[in-house]
Structure 1
Amino acid sequence: MLDALRGQFGRFRQDERAIEGLPIRLVIALVVGVASLSVMMNMISGIQGLAVVEVDVRPSPDVVGPGEQTLTLTAVDADGDPVADATLVVKSGSASLEAVQTATTGANGEAMVTVDPSLGPNQEDGTLVVEVKPPAGSEFVDRRANTKILVIRGG
């Protein structure tokens, strides 16, 4: 039996077919893998329905003092184009408001809100927070922090 195993081992050592076929199999696997990856990447980039656009707010003025005043808030997309029908919410940050103020943007992306911010007795500055609620059914989202309104005593 030992002689039979030695004989088969000798024949196996002389057989070079497995070594010759291995590079061809690797090349075929590589080509098929690259083709599959190309098709998948094309499918992913072709999906436009899942694309979303971040929306931000540009307040004017963005630095105010305590007391009642009217602000112009403009909702814009990532390219700076106006966003119509967005709901803008202004609320207290480190500066105080008695009530939350809301407004809806017009066709030009602008909305006006009247605020009356106040600061604490030893507080020199604070902020008002502006949130955007994008129009329902749109591709817009508000995931990042928006521009805050700075309130400065004596400003």
Structure 2
Amino acid sequence: MRLALFGRDGRAIEGLPVRLVIALVVGVASLSVMMNMLAGVGGLAVHEVDARPTPAVVAEGESSVTVRVVDDAGEPVENATVVLTSGSADLDGVVTGRTGEDGRVSVSVSASLAANRDQGTVEVTVKPPASGGFVDDRENEMLLVVEDD
């Protein structure tokens, strides 16, 4: 008897879409609040590092270059590995160094240019330390190599 009455009642089907929409809106709003809370947690945030070579321009041949690694707030990053590789200028191999407490590392580079070039670049990349939530996703400043007159 109860089954027969339920089969003739159309109100349950009419109210179902409205209830689903309400549940979806409440769920999306709750998810938005939770994501904002997670974004504010400092342990989950990542900080972009940037490498700044000094001097920014060197002549062909042997040169000493200091690279400073800083985070997105401009603070020095300790224990980051700096890697210099050939770009449009050639190096005698890959040059690496590790930053100190001040975020600086001094390296010696021996750069040369092709016969038809009067300038070229050396690429600077950073392997951030494992701790601290650092990443190096954006392109860093390159070292410019100019022809020795």
TM bucket (normalised to shorter chain) is 0.7 to 0.9
TM-score, normalised on structure 2? 0.77
Q: Which amino acid aligns with 1:63?
A: V
Separation in 2, partners of 1:44, 1:66: 49
Note the alpha carbon deviations across 1:67-111, whole angstroms, 9 max, x for none.
Answer: 101001101111111111111011111000111111110000010
- Structure having the higher Rg: 1
Q: Which residue of the partner structure matches residue 94 of structure 2?
A: 100
Q: Which residue of the partner structure matches residue 84 of structure 2?
A: 90
1:55 correspondence with 2:36: no
Give 1:154 deviation, angstroms: 3.3
Q: CA RMSD in A?
A: 2.6
Q: 1:37 to 1:125 in 2, by over 3 A?
A: same
Which piece of structure 1 moves more, 40-49 or 50-59? Answer: 40-49
Aligned residues: 136
Structure 2 residues without counterparts, runs of 5 or longer: 1-18
Give 1:32 deviation, angstroms: 4.5
> Helix, strand or coil for the counterpart of 1:82?
coil
> Helix, strand or coil for the counterpart of 1:83?
coil
Hey, which of these two has a bigger chunk of strand by percent?
2
- Structure 1 moving runs of 4+ over 6 Å: 28-31
Give 1:56 deviation, angstroms: 0.8
Structure 1 residues without counterparts, runs of 5 or longer: 1-24
